[in-house]
């Protein structure tokens, strides 16, 4: 039989129905970009690994997942899942619980001791990575997959960076963090701890490194000048969380104020609650304008943390904090009203943001910094110094674990091109599949399963994990809720609907093709496709008709 897509050859007359020259549009199978994939800072192919879960191939799903992100058990817990915020299903009833499926796969891989996929042969190239936080570890993993030797120098006593010292154990159990990091050591990545880099060029020269990735994170708490007199303990949230992890947590008074409105402020307040204090958060804006993720604030409040909105600290003295009431202008910016209040507080924790210690780079003339003190990088994530790249919290970005992991992967790809002297790979942008393009006859309404939480009475006195994982049945249920937006999943809708029998099935996981000697361009297949994996294009754009 002739190839049905080769219109330069005669048709098979036993199949040809001589549809004539009436077709003015042609259906083509054309996959679009799912909105979840498009929104993932780590660049995961979310839809692909969810499809593997639906098929029952959990290890296959995990292997697709770790092609982009080596930390699924971590991300399933700490990522703020923008994939779900963009999930088309969320516009109907509730988004697919992508993070919970990812967490299940990550935990299963730890339990089953699945090894990471084998990388490419050794290249003989060596890369130095400064910092063992999420960006540095991610970059090391992706470089190792490309066959490059990688050495990480970390100033702290252990790997993980702010995943270890900035995220409390009730959100990220240390056994989970350690298990996923240990897997990288088994992958052949060298790590040296308690090694603070003082001179970058000297380190690069001594190890004969071909490239460098800087990922030292933002581990310094910002300070502010507050008039004080006989005040109690004043410390920053980053120091509190770090000292807690190192077993050196300070003794707090009964009433503890936390100044700030970000995620770190919420964590500091919840930690203080678990240390026996009565925490109150002071923030100069309202709930709708706070930088913390809404879920973080709601969980803090559910645990008894008080939040004093629209307040700014004027002065502190022993046992008291004087605050000024603020108001918001039409752009949401706070301004003082002149009205003051007094709040009782024994100690104050500052959670006003974090900074990066880049002093060791200031002597390098070709590395430049913006007004906020972060390193300026090109689209390839290279600094002004050839072969020196930077990412994570020390580069301009949103400061989350997932963004940092995505930076590490992007930097690794750029470093790989740099080492192999390859040009920049420009990829064609794909169209994102939107809800209005879908025809959801194939799917039924089904709200998302809810993750259980540790009872409140058991939370506030311990650092046990608060949010619980899904069961296998929950995971499969959630995976089946996926609409497969923009990508064919072989529902046979086009095959069954075509009035001309022009759709040819190629076999499981091979999709379909169209016999254009029989196709009239009626568009029935297009109308029946629930996920918009079929497009209709003008016949003239397809180069004529058969």
Domain with CATH 3.30.70.20 in the chain: 1-31+488-546
Instruction: Report residue 170's pLDDT band, with 50, 70 and 90 as the boundaries.
Output: very high
Q: Give the range with max mean pLDDT: 138-147, 221-230, 234-243, 319-328.
A: 138-147
Q: How many CA atoms lie less than 13 Å away from 374 in the CB half-sphere?
A: 20
* Percent with pLDDT over 90 in the chain: 68
CATH superfamily of 35-114+440-480: Alpha-helical ferredoxin (1.10.1060.10)
Distances (CA, A) of 283 to 195, 239, 291: 37, 20, 10
Confidence (pLDDT) at 396? 72
Confidence (pLDDT) at 546? 47
Find out whether 191 and 88 touch, Cβ atoms under 8 Å: no
| Distance in angstroms (rounded) separating the CA atoms of residues 124 and 496 | 55
| Collapsed DSSP state (helix, strand, coil) of residue 353 | coil
Confidence (pLDDT) at 272? 94
Confidence (pLDDT) at 261? 93
Range 126-219+356-420 has CATH code 2.40.50.140? no
Chain-wide mean pLDDT for the chain? 89
Question: 461: Cβ–Cβ under 8 A, 6 or more apart, which residues?
Answer: 274
| pLDDT above 50 for 4 | no
Confidence (pLDDT) at 470? 96
pLDDT in tens, 485-506: 999 999 999 999 999 999 999 9
Q: What is the dihedral of CA 503, 504, 508, 509, to 10 degrees?
A: -70
Confidence (pLDDT) at 545? 46
pLDDT in tens, 349-382: 999 887 777 777 877 888 888 766 788 899 899 9
pLDDT (average), residues 70-86: 95
| pLDDT above 90 for 509 | no
Question: 473: Cβ–Cβ under 8 A, 6 or more apart, which residues?
Answer: none
| pLDDT above 60 for 328 | yes
* Percent with pLDDT over 70 in the chain: 93
What's the per-residue H, E or C state across 474-534? HHHHHHHCCCCCCCCCCCCHHHHHCCCCCEEECCCCCCEEECCCCCCCCCHHHHHCCCCCE
The distance from CA 66 to its chain's CA centroid, rounded to whole angstroms, is 13
pLDDT in tens, 445-478: 788 899 999 998 888 889 999 999 999 999 999 9
Confidence (pLDDT) at 357? 77
Quote the strand ranges of 351-495, DSSP E.
354-355, 388-390
| Of residues 213, 80, 67, 35, the one with CA closest to residue 136 | 213
| Collapsed DSSP state (helix, strand, coil) of residue 89 | helix
The distance from CA 202 to its chain's CA centroid, rounded to whole angstroms, is 34
Domain with CATH 3.50.50.60 in the chain: 126-219+356-420, 221-354
| Distance in angstroms (rounded) separating the CA atoms of residues 139 and 127 | 10
The phi and psi torsions of 430 (rounded to 5 degrees) equal -95, 150
Confidence (pLDDT) at 290? 92
CATH node for 221-354: 3.50.50.60
Q: What is the dihedral of CA 449, 508, 537, 91, to 10 degrees?
A: 0
| Distance in angstroms (rounded) separating the CA atoms of residues 148 and 217 | 23
Tally of CB atoms within 10 A around 118: 8
| pLDDT above 80 for 144 | yes
CATH topology of domain 1-31+488-546: Alpha-Beta Plaits (3.30.70)
pLDDT in tens, 188-233: 999 999 999 988 888 999 999 999 999 988 777 777 777 776 666 7
pLDDT in tens, 375-427: 889 989 999 999 999 998 888 778 889 999 999 999 999 999 999 988 776 67
Find out whether 369 and 358 touch, Cβ atoms under 8 Å: yes
Tally of CB atoms within 10 A around 272: 25
């Amino acid at each position: 039989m002739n190839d049905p897509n080769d219109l330069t050859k005669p048709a098979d007359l036993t199949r040809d129905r001589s549809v004539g020259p009436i077709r003015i549009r042609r259906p083509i199978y054309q996959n679009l970009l799912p909105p979840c994939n498009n929104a993932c800072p780590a660049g995961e192919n979310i839809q692909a690994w969810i499809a593997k879960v639906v098929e029952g191939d959990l290890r296959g799903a995990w292997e697709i997942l770790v092609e982009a992100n080596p930390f699924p058990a971590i991300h399933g817990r700490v990522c703020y899942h923008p994939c779900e915020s963009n999930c088309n299903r969320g516009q109907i009833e509730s988004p697919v619980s992508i993070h919970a499926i990812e967490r299940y796969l990550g935990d299963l891989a730890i339990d089953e001791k699945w090894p990471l996929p084998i990388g490419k042969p050794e290249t003989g190239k060596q890369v130095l990575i400064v910092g063992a936080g999420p960006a540095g570890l991610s970059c090391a993993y992706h470089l190792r997959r490309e066959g490059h030797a990688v050495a990480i120098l970390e100033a702290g006593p252990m790997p993980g960076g702010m995943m270890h010292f900035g995220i409390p154990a009730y959100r990220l159990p240390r056994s989970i963090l350690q298990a996923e990091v240990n897997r990288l050591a088994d992958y052949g990545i060298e790590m040296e701890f308690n090694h603070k880099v003082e001179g970058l060029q000297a380190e690069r020269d001594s190890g004969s490194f071909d490239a460098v990735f800087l990922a030292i994170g933002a581990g310094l708490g910002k300070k502010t000048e507050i008039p004080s007199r006989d005040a109690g303990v004043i410390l920053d949230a980053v120091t509190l969380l770090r000292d807690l992890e190192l077993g050196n947590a300070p003794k707090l008074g009964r009433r503890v104020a936390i100044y700030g409105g970000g995620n770190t402020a919420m964590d500091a307040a919840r930690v203080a609650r678990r240390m026996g204090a009565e925490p109150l958060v002071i923030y100069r804006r309202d709930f709708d304008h706070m930088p913390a993720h809404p879920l973080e604030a709601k969980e803090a409040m559910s645990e008894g943390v008080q939040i004093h909105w629209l307040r700014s600290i004027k002065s502190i003295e022993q046992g008291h904090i004087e605050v000024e009431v603020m108001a918001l202008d039409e752009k949401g910016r706070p301004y003082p009203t002149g009205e003051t209040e007094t709040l009782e507080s024994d100690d104050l924790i500052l959670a006003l943001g974090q900074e990066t210690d880049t002093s060791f780079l200031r002597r390098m003339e070709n590395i430049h910094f913006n007004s906020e003190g972060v390193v300026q990088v090109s689209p390839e994530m290279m600094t002004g110094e050839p072969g020196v790249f930077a990412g994570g919290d020390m580069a301009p970005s949103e400061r989350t674990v997932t963004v940092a992991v995505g930076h590490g992967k992007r930097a690794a790809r750029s470093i790989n091109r740099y080492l192999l002297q390859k040009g920049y790979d420009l990829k064609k942008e794909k169209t994102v599949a939107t809800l209005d393009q879908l025809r959801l006859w194939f799917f039924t309404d089904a709200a998302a399963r809810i993750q259980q939480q540790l009872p409140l009475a058991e939370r506030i006195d311990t650092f046990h994990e608060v949010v619980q994982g899904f069961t296998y049945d929950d995971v499969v249920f959630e995976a089946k809720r996926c609409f497969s937006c923009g990508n064919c999943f072989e529902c046979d809708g086009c095959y069954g609907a075509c009035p001309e029998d022009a759709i040819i099935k190629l076999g499981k996981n091979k999709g379909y093709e169209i016999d254009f000697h029989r196709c009239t361009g009626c568009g029935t297949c297009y109308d029946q496709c629930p996920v918009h994996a079929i497009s209709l294009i003008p016949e003239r754009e397809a180069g004529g008709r058969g």
